[in-house]
Copies of this chain bind each other. A is one copy, B any other.
Amino acid sequence: MNSDLDRSSRKSDDPSNSRISHREHYPWATSLAGMHEFVWQRLVRGVADRRSPARHPTLATVSANGLPSARTVVLRAATPATHCLEFHTAVGSEKVAHLQQQPIAAVHIWDATPRLQIRGVGRVSMARGDDVAAVWERIPEASRRAYSAGPVPGSPIDGPDAWVAEPDPTALVVLTLSLDRLDVLHLGEPHRRAVFERGSGWVGTWVVP
Contacts and interface: CB of A to CB of B under 8 A. Distances in A.
Interface of A: 1-5, 7, 10, 13, 15, 18-19, 29-30, 50, 56, 58, 60-62, 66-74, 88, 102, 104-108, 110, 117, 119, 121, 142-143, 145-146, 150-163, 183, 190, 192-195, 205-209
Contact of A4 (B18, B50, B62): B50
Given A4-B50, A66-B66, A206 B160 contact: yes
A23 B94 CA distance: 30
Given A3-B143, A209-B153, A58 B70 contact: yes
B145 A207 contact: no
Secondary structure of the A side of the interface? mixed
Copies per complex of this chain: 2
Contacts of A110: 56, 58, 72
Contacts of A67: 62, 102, 104, 106, 121
